[in-house]
Structure 1
Amino acid sequence: MGFVLSWFVRRAVATQKKEMQAFIDGLSSMDGQEVGFVLAIATHQRNMLEETGLRLMDPLVDYPRDPTILMHLRGIIREFQRNKQPTDVAGAMVWLHTMRVGGHHELRPLAREMWRQLERGMPHVLEATGQIYALTHNFPNTTGHESFPAGLTPDPI
């Protein structure tokens, strides 16, 4: 049984690495304003999810406390996909990839790279907030957009 479980886990981590790398590649092809839009959406989603009691800013602690967070995030992503909301999907993917680090620490270097790419959007979040308001007539809550999840600072000191 140990061999089968080990094989399954290795396969799952390899798939997650590919998915994260594809997401990072997508972010790296965007300019700072586009990344700022994704970061504004992701930050708004984080703030809304945290209001419901979910914790997302410390994946190394929060995931082990509640591993079901991944299922919850996948459900949110599927709903956004069903409703054809690709920018909301991108925002939620930020949190899915971030939280996966709590279960598989070998994903941490890729998560740091993802946050390095998201950092390029930080100066553009306020502008993106205005764009989102123009599209939706709702102001997103981008409080804390300049914060990195614990353990995922792109260039730790």
Structure 2
Amino acid sequence: MDSTYSRTLSFLWAGKPSIFHYFDRRTHRAHAAQLDSFLSGLARMTDEEIAELVVFATHVRHGLEAAGMMVLDLFTLMVKKPGAETQLTALAINLQKQGKTTAYAATAVWVHSLRAASRQALRAPVARIWQELRRGFPHIAQARERIHARVGTDVEISDATALPLGLAA
């Protein structure tokens, strides 16, 4: 199993017909497929487009931190707020349904990162997400200016290159 939570549930279900294992495998496959799709999208983006995503993901992170979700320390967040992944996933789905693709993508960065904190098998692909995002780091200041010109919002970018603990590739 990938996490302490999964090992605990496995212990509780030991010797019993395990529908848990069925749903766990199904969830893992779904998350892995979403992650692969997200990575493919990042690979097709230019460095400048990646930089804009980094700026928006930083803006989302600041909002999450203001709400008490310290997403740069994902493992601690999973312990202190066990429902954080569910809340963040619901937010991302809602943004996607509303057609807010940029906000969805920025939130998806954190959804995938949070999932990797609880599933060892997802850590390498999520580290690749952060590797792709690093392509945009040299262009963050210009991306911030383009975003400001387009939407009139200033975004704090002084810590935009911060990486979540344990996921740096």
**Could you tell me the TM-score, scaled by structure 2's length?**
0.85
Stretches of structure 1 that go unaligned for 5 or more consecutive residues are none
CA distance in 1, matches of 2:115, 2:99: 24
- 2:144 paired with 1:129: yes
Which portions of structure 1, spanning 4 or more consecutive aligned residues, are displaced by more than 3 angstroms? Answer: none
Task: With a CA cutoff of 8 Å and minimum separation of 6, indicate the structure with the bigger relative contact order.
Answer: 1
CA distance in 2, matches of 1:76, 1:91: 11
- 2:63 paired with 1:21: no
Cα root mean square deviation, aligned: 1.4
Q: Secondary structure at the match of 2:45?
A: coil
Residue of structure 1 in register with 2:121 after alignment: 106
Cα gap change, 1:110 to 1:2, in 2 (>3 Å)? farther
CA distance in 1, matches of 2:76, 2:17: 26
One-letter amino acid of the structure 2 residue matched with residue 105 of structure 1: Q
From 54, 59, 73, the equivalent of 1:39 is 54
Cα distance, 1:144 vs structure 2: 1.3
Residue of structure 1 in register with 2:89 after alignment: 74
Q: Secondary structure at the match of 1:102?
A: helix
Residue of structure 2 in register with 1:62 after alignment: 77
Q: What whole-Å deviation, never above 9, does each CA across 1:26-46 have from its counterpart, x for those lacking one? A: 001111001001111001110
Cα distance, 1:15 vs structure 2: 0.9
Q: Which moved more, 1:90-99 or 1:48-57?
A: 48-57
From 1, 9, 24, the equivalent of 1:9 is 24
Q: What whole-Å deviation, never above 9, does each CA across 1:2-28 have from its counterpart, x for those lacking one? A: 521012111111110111111011001
Cα distance, 1:143 vs structure 2: 3.0
Q: Secondary structure at the match of 2:18?
A: helix
Contact 1:33/1:121 (<8 A) preserved:
yes
Residue of structure 1 in register with 2:168 after alignment: 153
CA distance in 2, matches of 1:67, 1:102: 11
Q: Which moved more, 1:52-61 or 1:104-113?
A: 52-61
**Could you tell me the TM-score, scaled by structure 1's length?**
0.92
One-letter amino acid of the structure 2 residue matched with residue 9 of structure 1: D
CA distance in 2, matches of 1:53, 1:83: 25
From 155, 159, 164, the equivalent of 1:140 is 155
One-letter amino acid of the structure 2 residue matched with residue 47 of structure 1: H
Larger Rg: 2
One-letter amino acid of the structure 2 residue matched with residue 36 of structure 1: A
Cα distance, 1:123 vs structure 2: 0.9
Cα distance, 1:49 vs structure 2: 1.2
